[in-house]
Structure 1
Amino acid sequence: LELLPVHGSLAPGPGPCHEPPSPCHEQPFLDQYEVLRAIGRGEFGQVHLARHRLTGAEVAVKVLRLSVHNIPVLSEPHVLKRLEHPSVVRLFQVMATPEKLYVVMELAAGEQLLRRIPRGGMQHKEARRVFRQVACAVAYCHEQGVAHRDLKPENIMVDAAGRIKLIDFGLGARCRPGQKLHNFWGTLAYLAPEIVLRQEYEGPAADVWSLGVLLYFMLTGSRPFRARRAQDVLMAIVQARFHVPSSVPPQARRLIRQILTVKPEKRPTVQQILQHPWLMGAPDSPLPPPAEDLRDPSAWDTCPACPTCPTCPSLLSPIFLTGFLINCFQTKWIPNFSFPRSKCRHMEGTVGPRAEGGAQRSPVSQAWTSVTPSAVKIGTLTGQESQ
């Protein structure tokens, strides 16, 4: 039995043992932990609720079967040991036998976010508060060089106080900036187009796409890409065919369209998403129209390069408006605010045809997808289906 203590809060067990496989290999684990009950099941193993015998602390223990077929899933301990954030599940200890891997983790309180999303979607303020926490957790992971690659409501726990915890890094990957990944894993409804097409991809950009699907689901109660057949779902994803209901706040609609962009290089980063006006709590208003490119946050509120340009939102400051309205009252002049935004030379290129996922797209079938939400390996699809 080999033990790898990650945090000092749980005492490590005995040293390495290189005996042949036998039932005694599990005894050191049972000496430290009392297994209470199973609380989850996956393709490669089970998750148990257990109690640390020395401290009495309750933990979650993921028991994975070791085989050549689930090597990517076994990367979870190597991913989690880099992370320590209040919104990310903590790794305590790892124990390995010739047949199994025991991953001892923090027990995330509460329930899955999936159970908190009603049929018509969450309240907008609640959805914004929860999504902001999720985005902060994902941004931290990306800063630490980790991509989750399976972001969905089932992998987000929410406690009674509304605090979230990101769990299940079984498909997580360590990646450097600009590094391309080649493992095509994930959950069907949340897959990025580049993964569906089996192209090399960057993990953070794929996570951003999943965040867009998650936000859509939270606000509407349904997924943006849904159909009766898995092939139709995949086709809708690669073509970004979706429709955002008018019940979604205008700024949130823009954010979803900007995130669900087919080309990964045109998607915002998670840090840029966190700076979006909707997540910053700005009031929902169709005026002035925001920049379609989230990679230029300076275009959202002001245009410091041209403070005198009549089409820039920088003129809409309280001081300017006060003096401007007083002047209008004195001169009895009624201004026309219908300035074409393209006249501002400093804003050219920020507004134009809507990016992929825009309002011009026709809505997809309203039928719920019959595909199970468990993780699937896209590599098992035929080449024709994946395209």
Structure 2
Amino acid sequence: MSSKLNAATILDLKWAFDESKNKKYKKGKFLGKGGFAHCYELIDVDTNTIYAGKIVPKTMLTKPHQREKMTMEIEIHRTLSHSNIVGFHGFFEDQNHVYILLELCRRRSLMELHKRRKAVTEPEARFYLKQILLAVKHLHEQKVIHRDLKLGNLFLNDDLEVKVGDFGLATKVEIEGERKRTLCGTPNYIAPEVLGKKGHSYEVDIWSIGCIVYTLLVGKPPFETESLKDTYQRIKRNEYHIPSHINPEARSLIKRLLRSDPSSRPTAGDILRDPFLTAGFIPAKLPPSSLTTAPHFKNAHLPPSSARHPLAQVNSLVTETNVAARKVAATPVLADDPADWHLHSLLTQLINCVGTNPSEKNPTDYGESEDPASMPIFWVSKWVDYSDKYGLGYQLCDTSVGVLFNDSTRLLLGSDEASVQYINKDLAEEFYTISAYSESLYKKVTLLKYFRSYMSEHLLKAGGSAGERPVEEGVRLPHLRTWFRTRSAIVLHLSNGIMQINFFQDHTKIIICPLMSAVSYIDESKNFHTYKLSMIEKYGCSKDICNRLKYAKTMCERLITKLDSTPCDKATPSVRTPSLAPVVS
């Protein structure tokens, strides 16, 4: 049976029944697919508990080795219980499918973080690494080798805590000293002893962790090439390069983990005691904004080694003094400023996509052509045009608010309603709180509060502030880089590369992310759909989406022309004739 037919069968499912427990589950949102499985939300109708449901058609399990692999995955995963391992909540089957109920990790995986951020800061790398190691230490104590540790199998919950998942290639060590012989793994993370078919054990997971640490800090895998053959040759020769900006502790750890001789690699417990982890700052938690923008670490007590690399590691250090008088000594840091804010990459992707005339194709839509993992982390949910006097105010989807002032400065207030981020004309950032900020910002903070109140009163059903809240550590939001209005729409370009177009007539929106190579379309009924541009190229899309992509291409060209013509003042918005009162949407 074809994979398309399998997908169609799963699409037709509305409910799943566990007869052994007399349990009924409602099929919810599509979460993704991989290998034989399609993942949906499965909602327990009795408790409203939402699980990640891994659904496997039995037509994909006709061969003995396929059934054995699924049985092994279930048997291993069901025995594991650890805060950094995806929770296993049961399995059942019906006539056509096998269902596995797993912990739902709403923040996807470290792979999506990597695509949006490339390299992360050292405190973030430590934060994630420590949790990965705790999970792997537990696995190895349970005699389990994961064998497919990679960014895509390291899932994140709402608090950005790591959850190791996908035990499809995992195996159990039955006899002490046993060496496994199966050739398995993912090319960029596969250990040399696996390629050499010399037999392997727990050490392959340590090698994979080395590749993960390198990728998090450098922004790309250590052995990656354009061809599989060359990648394997580099792994066998242990041929990789650590950039000079990686600090000595991190460099030393990477070398320890990526030793060709598996017997010389440290254990997970050894790594937890490595100086990279023990001597460096590890944040207690990370904010959701770090999924798309490097966080700042306020009042971090950093060791001398960290202080040598302040921009790479902590983005900014803010020391507050004389809070009552709102006088704050802040160390500014340059905001992210890629050469073209990803615009040329975005334009290339749009040209390639619309050039295939996707609306003229006849896509066979089984409801799984979407890619929810590529949904944008931030987009503009509300905006107020008061550019005749002050600037453009806006609310992001997480309820944080910002203003792009007419003097090309920006001020943002986090969703915690406490953390404040100021960006001056030169794109240098300073971080304050709503109760402690520089006296020179008094007027702009007042205007920010006005914009927030106006949007709360006129654009939202709920009320405004719920009172002063504690400052969320590390919040650093993407800001509105520039904007302009046409007769048909408002075009908004964020500092993380997102281009958003809100159409006035039908209130539809299109949000395009060049880093994820994806487009999200919010239709007239406010339904949210996200697609990979490459999938639209290949299979086509509706005429509505196609027309908006063509319009986006023209708007992107306009943004590039504007950027090229104003190299010294990238932030100045181009606006229509000033209005007499705020224009809102």
1:178 equivalent in structure 2:
177
What does 1:1-387 correspond to in 2, within 5 Å? Answer: 27-28=17-18, 32-64=24-56, 65=58, 66-68=61-63, 69-70=65-66, 71-97=68-94, 99-117=96-114, 118=116, 120-176=118-174, 177-202=176-201, 204-282=202-280, 283=303
State the shift of 1:109 in Å. 3.0
**Rounded Cα–Cα distance in structure 1 between residues aligned with 2:17 and 2:276:** 53
Overall identity of the aligned pairs, in %: 29
State the shift of 1:198 in Å. 2.2
Amino acid in the other structure paired with 1:102? Y
1:66-119 superposed Cα distances (whole Å, 9 cap, x missing partner): 232523244211111211111111111111346532111111232211222355
**Rounded Cα–Cα distance in structure 2 between residues aligned with 1:100 and 1:160:** 29
1:304-345 superposed Cα distances (whole Å, 9 cap, x missing partner): xxxxxxxxxxxxxxxxxxxxxxxxxxxxxxxxxxxxxxxxxx
Given the superposition, is the C-alpha separation of residues 108 and 26 from structure 1 closer, same or farther in structure 2, using an over 3 Å criterion?
closer
2:453 equivalent in structure 1:
none
C-alpha contact (below 8 Å) 1:73/1:171 kept by paired residues: no
1:174-227 superposed Cα distances (whole Å, 9 cap, x missing partner): 22442211222211111011111222211x111000000000000011010011
State the shift of 1:38 in Å. 2.3
**Rounded Cα–Cα distance in structure 2 between residues aligned with 1:89 and 1:164:** 9
SS class of match (1:47)? strand
C-alpha contact (below 8 Å) 2:122/2:217 kept by paired residues: yes
1:19-45 superposed Cα distances (whole Å, 9 cap, x missing partner): xxxx9x965469511111321211212
Given the superposition, is the C-alpha separation of residues 26 and 51 from structure 1 closer, same or farther in structure 2, using an over 3 Å criterion?
closer
Deviates more, 1:182-191 or 1:91-100: 91-100
State the shift of 1:161 in Å. 2.8
**Rounded Cα–Cα distance in structure 2 between residues aligned with 1:277 and 1:56:** 45
C-alpha contact (below 8 Å) 1:250/1:284 kept by paired residues: no
**Rounded Cα–Cα distance in structure 2 between residues aligned with 1:138 and 1:80:** 13
TM normalised by structure 1 equals 0.63
SS class of match (1:185)? coil
SS class of match (1:186)? coil
Given the superposition, is the C-alpha separation of residues 266 and 57 from structure 1 closer, same or farther in structure 2, using an over 3 Å criterion?
same
C-alpha contact (below 8 Å) 2:31/2:39 kept by paired residues: yes
Amino acid in the other structure paired with 2:62? S
C-alpha contact (below 8 Å) 1:114/1:153 kept by paired residues: yes
SS class of match (2:275)? coil
Amino acid in the other structure paired with 1:154? G
TM normalised by structure 2 equals 0.43
State the shift of 1:120 in Å. 4.8
**Rounded Cα–Cα distance in structure 2 between residues aligned with 1:245 and 1:54:** 54
1:119-148 superposed Cα distances (whole Å, 9 cap, x missing partner): 551011111111111111111111111111
Amino acid in the other structure paired with 2:194? I
Structure 1 stretches lacking a partner, 5+ long: 1-22, 287-387
Structure 2 stretches lacking a partner, 5+ long: 1-12, 281-302, 307-585
Cα-Cα RMSD: 2.3
**Rounded Cα–Cα distance in structure 1 between residues aligned with 2:247 and 2:305:** 9
C-alpha contact (below 8 Å) 2:206/2:266 kept by paired residues: yes
Deviates more, 1:124-133 or 1:90-99: 90-99
